Structure 1
Amino acid sequence: MENLEMAGFDRLTTLMERFALQVMPADAEQATLVVSADDSGAASQILFGLPGVGRGIDPERVLVCVAVDWGGLDNPLMAALPGRFEFALAQDAEMAGVASLMHSELGAGRCGAASVVNRLAEVLIVRLLRAQIEAGSTGPGLIAGLSDPRLSRAIVSIHDQPGRDWRNQDLAEIAGLSLSRFAETFMAIVGETPAAYLRRWRLTLARQDLLKGDRVDAVARRYGYGSPEGFARAFRHRYGRNPLDMRAYAATIIDARAG
């Protein structure tokens, strides 16, 4: 597969920057990231997916058992992942080292351990996502789109410039495809039209900005809406509430923290 990162198309950085990752110790029923050991006690396998992903593993072999929150289903990468993703650490000594260090930090209770664990988990998940993207996906979704060397260029462009007035023709040219071929391929591989994906991405980012307290009219302009009213209609259709209500809720949270 062509190295798109070397060509200037980093498929993960914008998504990583937009969604904060938090890790909490969890039991087997709630854990979404589990590292298990082999007979020698060395980290041998990572399981990542839906809660309970490590169910059935011998507790004596569990080195790491945590719940990862990385933006929930608002993060299109998390929404596109399979319910269970397995990675054998025998094929990646560096990841095995990170997993072992994570196990050490979780068990030692040192100062700053929570922050270190978050960063180690981010490293593991990014490496897992790279492996998943390189392997491709058996079903439609963002992972499949990012795995495609043509569509990934268009998707990264949408991620990086959500406020641009994107036309299918613009995205088709970036992908190096004819307009009809681009539209057909995008729908087949990603599972929705380019316009629908762009709209969903814009509203995801808009919700984040409103929760930070940004003004509705500024958010509407930022993400390419012609008017606050048009933005409000789209936002209500997606989230079932008015963007003003979302901003007001954010203000109460900010005031409570300040108090």
Structure 2
Amino acid sequence: MDRLSALMSRFSLSVRPCAVEEANFAVVGDVQPDCLIYGTSGHLHLLEPDKHSVLLSARVCWGGSQNPLLAALPPEIRQDLTNDSEMRTVVDLLLAEQAAARCGSASVLNRLGEVLLVRLMRRQIEQGQMRVGLLGGLADPRLSRAIVAMHHRPGQDWRVDLLAQEAGLSVSRFAELFRKAVGVTPLAYLRKWRLTLARQDIERGDRVQRVANRYCYGSPEALSRAVSQEYGQTPTQIRKAAAEDRAIPAL
């Protein structure tokens, strides 16, 4: 499993065209697209240099605060398209699909948006310009092996020594590098990841006992305490709120 796939598969992505005022994603340019802007904090800052045309504005939803990728990114990413033929091709397809408004366009926009976001994540990793956080760990080829293992097998009974083996490092060196790059200890990151997945499963209606077994909690009570401490809600409250949200008809 590569550095991004196991993680991205856990979070649904939606890309919905909208007014600029509501957007957190935009393609700007004069006649042709010059720059892609993604406001990972949820907002765009289109200043004077961006007064030239907004060719596409959209709202990207991708797991919100539960997605550790977003927490690891700067508040805004700008990608120059003028010397990036591959990214430009995807953007051109996105613009054409929006303009044509054919049947199935919503699905196509989602897929193309996902391609753009994957490429943006790759660029952030390759450039090594991330803040301390998940992408900082994924940028290190040694740490990334341990992080991917946690993402891919969250229910395994991981210990620091086993994660250090995945990384090919001594326990002390692994723990030191992990905390420096990611900002937390390996087991703290694993705990947060398990709780993120547990919340998703609870929102879908899975039984707490089954979720506890899935993510290495000793009992349903232990998971319930951890969920309540992390999110300020019991599993029952989380499940009820999610069910109510699903029951609200889309506008």
TM-score, length-scaled by structure 1: 0.89
Shift of 1:59: 5.2
Show CA shifts across 1:57-81 (max 9, x none): 5454211111100000101001111
Which residue does the alignment assign to 1:129? 121
Q: Of 39, 42, 46, which aligns to 2:32?
A: 42
Aligned pair partner of 1:148 in 122, 140, 144: 140
Distance 1:139 1:92 in 2: 24
Note the residue ranges of structure 2 that are not aligned, 5 or more in a row: none
**2:42 — aligned with what?**
51
Relative distance call for 1:160 and 1:250 in structure 2 (3 A) is same
Query: Is 1:245 matched with 2:237?
Result: yes
Q: Distance in 1 between matches of 2:50 and 2:97?
A: 21
The reply on whether 1:65 has 2:47 as its aligned counterpart is no
Distance (Å, rounded) in 2 between the aligned partners of 1:28 and 1:248: 34
- Aligned counterparts, 1:35-184, within 5 A: 35-37=27-29, 39=30, 41-49=31-39, 50-56=41-47, 58=50, 60-184=52-176
Superposition deviation, residue 90 in structure 1: 2.7
What SS class does the counterpart of residue 18 from structure 1 fall into?
Answer: coil
Inter-CA distance 201–44: structure 2 relative to 1 (3 Å threshold): same
Gaps (5+ residues) in structure 1?
A: 1-8
Q: AA paired with 1:44?
A: D
Q: Which residue of 2 aligns with 1:234?
A: 226
- Counterparts of 2:167 and 2:71 in 1: how far apart (Å)? 24
CA-CA distance at 1:138 after TM superposition: 4.5
Separation (CA, whole Å) in 1 of partners of 2:140 and 2:126: 9
The one-letter amino acid of 1:139's match is: R
Find the counterpart in structure 1 of residue 211 from structure 2: 219
Q: CA offset at residue 110 of structure 1?
A: 1.5
Cα offset for 1:255?
A: 6.9
Q: How many Å apart are 1:15 and its aligned residue?
A: 1.8
Q: Report the more deviating stretch, 102-111 or 233-242.
A: 102-111
- Residue identity in the other structure for 2:153: Q
Shift of 1:17: 1.1
Question: Cα offset for 1:100?
Answer: 1.3
d(CA) in 1 for partners of 2:22, 2:164 = 42
* CA gap 1:12/1:42 in 2 versus in 1, 3 angstroms: same
Change (3 A) 1:26 1:134: same
Question: Which residue type is aligned with residue 231 of structure 1?
Answer: L
Q: Report the CA distance between 1:180 and its aligned residue.
A: 0.6
Return the letter of the residue paired with 2:35. Answer: Q
| Letter paired with 2:239 | R
Give CA deviations for 1:4-59 in whole Å, capped at 9, x if unaligned: xxxxx40111122111101122333432211112x4x2222111123342412545
Contact 1:47-1:87 within 8 A present in 2 as well: yes
Let me know the Cα RMSD of the aligned residues.
1.8
Residue identity matched to 2:160: N
- Tell me the matched-pair count: 247
CA contact (8 A) 1:31 1:54 kept: no
C-alpha separation in 1, matches of 2:44 and 2:227: 33
Which range is displaced more, 18-27 or 67-76? 18-27
What TM-score do you get using the length of structure 2 for normalisation? 0.92
